[in-house]
Amino acid sequence: MLNPARSSPGRLRRGLTVLAALFALASCPAWRGMALAQSVPDSVTLEGNWFQRELTRLKSFPHLDKAYRLLAQGNRSEAVREFQSYLALVPGDTKVQELLAGLLAEEGRAEEALRQAEAVLAERPGLPRMRLIRANLLVRLGRDDEAAKDFEQALADGGQDRELALQAASGLAGIRLRQGRPAEALALLEALDKPVPVTSPVATLLRAQALVALGRPVEAQALLAKSLEAAATPQDKAEVLDLWAKALEDQGDLEGARERLLESLRTAPGRAAALRALAENAIRRKAPEEAVEYARQAEAAEASPAARELAANALLLAGRPREAAQLLEKMAAETAAQVERDRLTLRAANALALAGDDAAAAEAYARAAQSGREPGALEGLAAAFERLGRFQEAADALQKALDAFPSGERLLRLAGLRNKAGDPTAAARLVERALAGELAQEARAMALEELGLLQEEAGKNAEAAEAWKQALASRPGDPTLLARLAAVSQRMGDIRAALGYARAARDAKPDLETTSSLAVLTALSGQPGQAAELLRQALPMAQGRPEEQADILERLAVLEAMTGRHDLAAQDFVKAYDALPGKGSPELLAKAAGEWLAAGQDGQARAVLERLLRLPGLSREVRAQAQAREGALLLRQGDMARAAASLREALGSGALPRLMRLDALASLAALEQREGNADKAVELLEQAMREGMEPWRARLSMGLALFQAKRYAQALEQLQAAQRDRPGPRVSLAAARCYEALNKPGLAIRAMLEVMPRQSGLSEEEQREYFFALGNLYAQTQDERRAAEAYRQSLAYREVPAVTIRLARMERLLGRPEEALHLLRQAQAQAGMLPEQAQAPGSRPVETALADAPPSARAPKAAPGQQGAPAAAAPGARTEAPAEARSTGEAQRDPTASPASAPAREQASAAQDGVRPVRVMFQQSPSGDAVLLKGVPADARPAVALFDAPWRLVVDLPGEWTIETPGAAPPAGNIQRVRAARHPGKLRVVLDLAEKPGGRALESTPEGLVVRLSR
């Protein structure tokens, strides 16, 4: 098959250097193909006596003479064999050694030519012309560093041979140009001008290239133009124009090169070299048919096998490999010499393989391999069998090639085939055998990499890692090896090492694969935020690859959910679905709805669920997931009947994933609990626990349900079990509520003190309420000093009049009346910050507000001698109210809130005949406005919505309410007024706004519900 290097730009650049060596070879008498009788030159010294020398001449003459005649006929392959036979008798004929090396190179057997040159130089290192040939062969093989040393040595050993010096300097200059060292190249060429200026077209062109690289294009063009003017004959001018065209091609100016070649052809018509160059130029310009036309003209101009082969090459380059194969097979059939026939058949087989006809290619490879002279035929046969999936036959063919032509590279290829044939043990032995032999550094690294893969397939992760580490020492920074080491380290459980390798792989090659792999390992190491950022960086790399985009978006959504950014997770799930129009998984929309619910964005969740349920052909699983999330949404919005129906339908389908089923059971239990069916809630939670709900979660939920069912002892038992499973602040607070309900304030205080509020993840408002409740419990046990300290800590978060009043009472009971009076004045000032208390019609004066606390909170300690009498009730203390009254208040209490919350208790006791009062109070801060709906308990489930034209915020409070201050005038700010109206089963509060708020939030506080609007 055509070697792509022959027509690449790099090949053309190297061609300028190789051309010098070929000019030298062309000066040999035999190279011109003169079919004259030849014998051993007199300059060659033969060993032995006179008779032995003459006998050697006699034996060698037929081989040398036949070789020259074959060469004249264009049969180079057979000529090579005859030259080799001759040199076996006369190894000292250096001219023929040089000629043979050149012929092998022209036959595409550069490696064999190199071995030939190295064998001669090993015996006679002082042959500058042979060293020059080896240098050019090394250039052809891409080994510039070694070639440069040979060019330098040839220059040093060449003496006064000006032609050799020109060729060596030109070759070395070409290497320096490729190495990006044009100044050195130019210096080498300029040194040749002494004592006589050089007129070599090759040297002239190299000098022009150096000038272009140094930013001196005008001088370069002038130099070429001067050479063209100095050319004496049309042939000389044509050669300069050919070289000029190559220079333009090197600069990327293909059209300019084409014009020069056409001018060359007009200057010396019919030149095959120009026609070949035009064919190659047409290929680079993506004009394949033009290339074939010029190749056909070159074939007609030369009328030789070489010209016909050039036409086959053009067909290959034009993407017409089947036609090329037909031409090559025809040439092979017309060739008498077996070696040449095998070579052409091999090329035809390569063309058939390129055409995708592996069966026909295998037959051609088999014919080319019959003589056993072509290792490439056996290798091609193995490759064809491998593509056909016939791995055992492929391995057998490559085994024959290995037996005939041993090499480490073939051992490695054979190992791969043995592995594919199902014998990994034999494959591993072959790789180890290759490693035990002589391998080049790159081949050794490849062998170690292959050995690691085999060990990995055998489940030997440690051995695989060791092999890849050794390979990495030879190929430091190799992204493939680093990625393999990252994967095997992960499987061995060493996430830290895996992360290190993955980072190094991404640094070496920051593409989609390495970035995604690093993101996965980063997530596994417990850094979901950083993993999400890596996936965001990977997303643009997947542009135009929708499947990979969808996969990245889905993984990104999962990571966003892990970090609590549920709104971003929902958006990414929707984007992942939309990335594959008509092919996206509906389950992605179901997940998006769940994330919108977790983000508190009910409207967005509703929209996604509606979109999902409209999709045709939903599976039972996806429909059940959508119904479960719809039930959670309706539960949040207070639509109990529809929520229960959706949840029960989802559970009844039997198609929910286990975790979602447990969530649905928990949601249904919460619904039953909210409806007052605590026993039913307990049954559902017990079922969830039997089905595998996490014990801690189940026990906590069970404890809360039992608390609401007033089964305080059983609730406490469940909460204590939950605390043992997973200690946490909210479990301790719920246990404290149970102790309080069981009239055990001391134990309630102990449970409260287990919580470290500032280190427990509680919000500031929760911490304020915590200290307020703790103060109430201390007051209940008549520990005024600790109660005062807890109240002060509560006030440190936010000044609330009710807390200040309680602190004043504790100071009075502690015998500090002046401090108590000072605190009462502060409370009066704090209450004065609420404008409607002073301005709203029907509002009560501040003095009345200061007296809002129950009288029991103001009672002094029992006097000595009265210890047997019941102590006056402290804030939050139990009183002997009728059971009905107590149940009315306690049924609304949230056991996870801090215990002894006086405002909540007062609001519950204030409800009469099922109608509860609510007061509107305004607050302002630099960040925005707020409305306190005082009297709304923490367990209320308000619904909120924002409307425009005009802007207004609507808050619906389920239940029966009375409001004291409808139409109250607010202070200057975004809230213009507040309106309220009673509707069946709810109270609607409307906030008329001046403009759209920056954001909104609802916050339950001990005093009531706060609606915050940011600017």
> Does an H or E element contain 689, and which?
helix 678-690
Instruction: Please count the other Cβ atoms lying within 10 Å of the Cβ belonging to residue 648.
Output: 15
Least confident of 39-48, 650-659, 874-883: 874-883
Average pLDDT of every residue of the chain: 78
Sheet containing strand 943-947, edge to edge, reads: 943-947, 952-958, 986-993, 975-983
Tokens found for residue 754:
């287990």
Decide: 367 and 354 in contact? Cβ < 8 Å: no
Q: Which residues contact 162 (CB under 8 A, 6 or more apart)?
A: none
> Does an H or E element contain 834, and which?
none
Return phi, psi of residue 975, to 5°: -80, 120
Return the half-sphere exposure (C-beta side, CA atoms, 13 A cut-off) of residue 583.
Answer: 6
In the block, tokens 């060791």 appear at: 466
Q: What span, in angstroms and rounded, lies between the C-alpha atoms of 141 and 631?
A: 72
Dihedral of alpha carbons 401, 406, 410, 411, sign: positive
Decide: 974 and 1015 in contact? Cβ < 8 Å: yes
- Average the pLDDT over 595-623 and give the result: 88
Length reported for the chain:
1015
Give the per-residue pLDDT at 54. 64
Q: What span, in angstroms and rounded, lies between the C-alpha atoms of 159 and 481?
A: 49
Give the per-residue pLDDT at 504. 93
Q: How far, in Å, are 673, 766, 768 from residue 732 at the CA level?
A: 21, 14, 16
Give the per-residue pLDDT at 997. 86
- Which has more confidence, 381 or 337? 381
The DSSP secondary-structure symbol of 899 reads S
Percent of the chain whose predicted confidence (pLDDT) is above 90: 8
In the block, tokens 């040749």 appear at: 192
Give the per-residue pLDDT at 325. 92
Whether residue 862 is predicted with pLDDT greater than 50 in this model: the reply is: no
Q: What span, in angstroms and rounded, lies between the C-alpha atoms of 845 and 838?
A: 7
Interval 667-684: pLDDT, tens: 888 888 777 787 888 888
Tokens found for residue 558:
């999962």
Q: What span, in angstroms and rounded, lies between the C-alpha atoms of 476 and 105?
A: 34
**Cis peptide before 950, with omega less than 30 degrees from 0?**
yes
- Average the pLDDT over 338-342 and give the result: 84
Domain residue ranges of the chain, discontinuous segments joined by +:
54-266, 270-313, 564-656, 916-1014
Whether residue 877 is predicted with pLDDT greater than 70 in this model: the reply is: no
Return the half-sphere exposure (C-beta side, CA atoms, 13 A cut-off) of residue 936.
Answer: 29
Could you tell me where the DSSP H helices lie in 421-460? 424-436, 441-457
Q: What span, in angstroms and rounded, lies between the C-alpha atoms of 399 and 421?
A: 13
In the block, tokens 């130099």 appear at: 223
Q: Which residues partner with 981 through β-bridges?
A: 988
In the block, tokens 């919460």 appear at: 670
Interval 304-328: pLDDT, tens: 777 778 788 888 877 889 988 998 9
* Helix, strand, coil distribution of the chain in percent, nearest 5: 65, 5, 25
Give the per-residue pLDDT at 311. 81
Q: What span, in angstroms and rounded, lies between the C-alpha atoms of 591 and 110?
A: 62
The DSSP secondary-structure symbol of 1001 reads E
Q: What span, in angstroms and rounded, lies between the C-alpha atoms of 83 and 69?
A: 11
Instruction: Please count the other Cβ atoms lying within 10 Å of the Cβ belonging to residue 760.
Output: 16
Interval 183-197: pLDDT, tens: 988 888 888 777 667
Give the per-residue pLDDT at 849. 30
Q: Are strands 960-963 and 999-1005 parallel, antiparallel or unpaired?
A: unpaired
Nearest to 348 by CA among 383, 299, 312: 312
What is the per-residue burial (b if ≥16 Cβ within 10 Å, else e) of 148-157? bebbbbbbeb
**Cis peptide before 970, with omega less than 30 degrees from 0?**
no
Dihedral of alpha carbons 27, 30, 36, 38, sign: positive
Helix (H, G, I), strand (E, B) or coil at 29: helix
Class of domain 916-1014: mainly beta
Q: What span, in angstroms and rounded, lies between the C-alpha atoms of 93 and 87?
A: 7
The confidence band for 879, taking pLDDT boundaries of 50, 70 and 90, is very low
Return the half-sphere exposure (C-beta side, CA atoms, 13 A cut-off) of residue 81.
Answer: 9
Whether residue 531 is predicted with pLDDT greater than 50 in this model: the reply is: yes
Give the per-residue pLDDT at 789. 92
Tokens found for residue 313:
């090459």
Burial-class residue 934 by CB neighbours within 10 Å (0-12, 13-18, 19+): buried
Interval 721-772: pLDDT, tens: 888 888 878 788 888 888 888 888 888 888 888 888 777 677 787 788 888 8
- Which has more confidence, 836 or 212? 212
Whether residue 150 is predicted with pLDDT greater than 60 in this model: the reply is: yes
The confidence band for 926, taking pLDDT boundaries of 50, 70 and 90, is low
Percent of the chain whose predicted confidence (pLDDT) is above 70: 84
The confidence band for 860, taking pLDDT boundaries of 50, 70 and 90, is very low
Instruction: Please count the other Cβ atoms lying within 10 Å of the Cβ belonging to residue 555.
Output: 20
Give the per-residue pLDDT at 980. 82
In the block, tokens 């001008």 appear at: 193
Q: What span, in angstroms and rounded, lies between the C-alpha atoms of 130 and 111?
A: 15
The DSSP secondary-structure symbol of 741 reads H
Helix (H, G, I), strand (E, B) or coil at 882: coil
Tokens found for residue 633:
């949404």
Q: Please give the angle made by the CA atoms of 383, 385 and 388, to the nearest 5 degrees.
A: 110
Whether residue 83 is predicted with pLDDT greater than 90 in this model: the reply is: no
- Distance between first and last Cα of the chain: 74
- Which has more confidence, 361 or 32? 361
Give the per-residue pLDDT at 279. 83
Q: What is the dihedral of CA 987, 992, 993, 996, to 10 degrees?
A: 60
Instruction: Please count the other Cβ atoms lying within 10 Å of the Cβ belonging to residue 865.
Output: 7
Whether residue 905 is predicted with pLDDT greater than 60 in this model: the reply is: no
Nearest to 440 by CA among 475, 465, 469: 475
The confidence band for 303, taking pLDDT boundaries of 50, 70 and 90, is low
Tokens found for residue 172:
């070395």
Q: Is the CATH number of domain 54-266 1.25.40.10?
A: yes
The confidence band for 38, taking pLDDT boundaries of 50, 70 and 90, is low
Q: How far, in Å, are 150, 523, 566, 727, 764 from residue 563 at the CA level?
A: 63, 11, 8, 22, 21
Least confident of 52-61, 261-270, 711-720: 52-61
- Average the pLDDT over 908-915 and give the result: 47
Whether residue 687 is predicted with pLDDT greater than 70 in this model: the reply is: yes
Give the per-residue pLDDT at 833. 43
Q: Most confidently modeled of 73-77, 256-260, 431-435?
A: 256-260
Tokens found for residue 786:
């600790």
Interval 322-334: pLDDT, tens: 988 998 998 888 8
- Average the pLDDT over 653-675 and give the result: 84
- Which has more confidence, 59 or 951? 951
Give the per-residue pLDDT at 641. 86
The DSSP secondary-structure symbol of 860 reads P
Q: How far, in Å, are 57, 160, 383, 709, 740 from residue 735 at the CA level?
A: 114, 105, 74, 15, 9
Whether residue 283 is predicted with pLDDT greater than 60 in this model: the reply is: yes
> Does an H or E element contain 920, and which?
strand 915-925
- Average the pLDDT over 280-286 and give the result: 83
pTM given for the model: 0.42
Interval 927-944: pLDDT, tens: 678 888 888 887 788 888
Whether residue 908 is predicted with pLDDT greater than 70 in this model: the reply is: no
Q: What span, in angstroms and rounded, lies between the C-alpha atoms of 671 and 676?
A: 9
Helix (H, G, I), strand (E, B) or coil at 938: coil
Helix (H, G, I), strand (E, B) or coil at 359: helix
Interval 41-67: pLDDT, tens: 655 555 666 666 667 666 777 777 777
Q: What span, in angstroms and rounded, lies between the C-alpha atoms of 219 and 91?
A: 48
Phi-psi region of 582 (alpha: psi -120 to 50; beta: other; left: phi over 0): left
- Which has more confidence, 29 or 389? 389
Q: Which residues contact 848 (CB under 8 A, 6 or more apart)?
A: none
Helix (H, G, I), strand (E, B) or coil at 243: helix
Helix (H, G, I), strand (E, B) or coil at 160: coil
Decide: 14 and 139 in contact? Cβ < 8 Å: yes
> In Å, how far from its chain's centre is CA 451?
27
Tokens found for residue 642:
């529809």
Helix (H, G, I), strand (E, B) or coil at 898: coil
Q: What span, in angstroms and rounded, lies between the C-alpha atoms of 435 and 445?
A: 9
Tokens found for residue 58:
């006699």
Nearest to 23 by CA among 182, 132, 157, 155: 132
Whether residue 633 is predicted with pLDDT greater than 60 in this model: the reply is: yes
